[in-house]
Amino acid sequence: MGYKVAVFTGPGTLEVQEPAMPVPTGDMVLVKLLSCALCTLEQRIYKGAMPYYPYAGGHEAAGVVESCGERVTMLSPGDKVTLRLLTSCGQCYYCRSGHENQCVTSFKASNHAGLNGPGGLADYMLVDARQVYKVSPDLDIDCAALAEPLACCVHSVGKGQIGLGDDVVVLGAGIMGMFHVMLAKRKGARVIVCEVDAARLEKAKGLGADVVVNPSECDPVEKVKELTEGRGANVVFCTVALPALAAQAIDMVGKLGRVVMYTSFHPKDPIELNEDRVHYSEIRITGSVNPDMRDFHTAVRLLSLGIIDAEPLISERVPFEKLDYAFEQSIKPGMYRVVVTHGR
């Protein structure tokens, strides 16, 4: 008996392959996948901006345990689970020093025999038990698939070191910006969101933003300074892949503030940096990429305990049989996450 896995073979081209069904042994777990959300990474591959072909995409996945190897003790068939599919080898310098999100093998996953890629766009997957996180039986399985992007934002918010009563600016109100809003509010911050899309600004207010700013109507740097009595923000998260906004993020942070470049930038154009301002103001500029195991564990708890509700960030659910339609929807402006579903 085989199973189905979707493979990118070229821009806008998906092929469904049917490998033989694997049998778990040792520490391995066979998971029946029920949900896979379409991340920006998969969207870029689909559009041809990142030509990684052939590629088994999908790294925001959730399902139920089908069967376990003989050494697996913390999981059982029928458990509802989500998967951490971005790889860490456990052996390199970064893994051994507690920074497995910086592993030298990151983004080099291969979860289906003979195929490169994390492979969440499939109906079954064989994975190591350490990649499998049990979620609450009551958690919607599509929301469970969003543990991975939430975990990325948990990591980013940790980099920001938010304090009670801090002024926090989030640049961009896409799904990652929204998760930053929700997390920053739960850290006790006043949250300011900058976004040009009016509908997204309304949604940000509904999810906890205290102040919303439309940069098409005012200078966002000056507005943030006005809101903070001229000081600038304590923390700024840049979640939009535009170098101009990276420059704005640095301009609107105050003395001793933290700027987190959450997103990767396209194009990779350099920005000017006033070194003396960094020196005299002691501002910190850092990046954030990938969640480590602790971040993923935290994200699973936040979702399972109902502290974070991911449902408002699911724009559409599409069956696996309509993958092309799912990708066409996912790249439309204004969409959050499109979730591909199996067997429902």
pLDDT in tens, the chain (344 residues): 799 999 999 999 999 999 999 999 999 999 999 999 999 888 989 998 888 899 999 999 999 999 999 999 999 999 999 999 988 888 999 999 999 999 998 777 788 988 999 999 999 999 999 999 999 999 999 999 999 999 999 999 999 999 999 999 999 999 999 999 999 999 999 999 999 999 999 999 999 999 999 999 999 999 999 999 999 999 999 999 999 999 999 999 999 999 999 998 877 889 999 999 999 999 999 999 999 999 999 999 999 999 999 999 999 999 999 999 999 999 998 999 999 998 87
Structure tokens at 222: 């000056």
Task: List the domain range (segments joined by +) for residue 160.
Answer: 153-287
Query: How are beta strands 253-261 and 233-238 bridged, if at all?
Result: parallel
In a domain? residue 325: yes
**Shared-domain flag, residues 278 and 157:** yes
Q: Could you write out the DSSP letters of every residue in 271-319? A: ----HHHHHHHT-EEEE--S--HHHHHHHHHHHHTTSS--GGGEEEEEE
**Shared-domain flag, residues 182 and 268:** yes
CA 277, CA 26: separation in Å to the nearest integer?
Answer: 55
Nearest in space to 102 (alpha carbons), one of 175, 27, 155: 155
Looking at the structure of the chain, the number of domains it has is 2
Q: Are 265 and 40 in contact (CB under 8 A)?
A: no
**Shared-domain flag, residues 166 and 102:** no
In a domain? residue 302: no
CA 72, CA 57: separation in Å to the nearest integer?
Answer: 26
In a domain? residue 303: no
CA 185, CA 28: separation in Å to the nearest integer?
Answer: 38
CA 258, CA 233: separation in Å to the nearest integer?
Answer: 9
pLDDT, residue 267, reads 77
CATH number of the domain residue 24 falls in? 3.90.180.10
CA 21, CA 186: separation in Å to the nearest integer?
Answer: 43
Structure tokens at 64: 């139920």
**pTM for the full predicted model:** 0.96
In a domain? residue 253: yes
Amino acid identity, residue 239?
T
CATH number of the domain residue 245 falls in? 3.40.50.720
CA 106, CA 87: separation in Å to the nearest integer?
Answer: 5
Q: Are 211 and 227 in contact (CB under 8 A)?
A: yes
Alpha-carbon separation of residue 207 from 199, 216, 236, 238 (angstroms): 13, 22, 18, 18
**Shared-domain flag, residues 219 and 109:** no
**Shared-domain flag, residues 319 and 278:** no
pLDDT, residue 254, reads 98
**Shared-domain flag, residues 266 and 336:** no
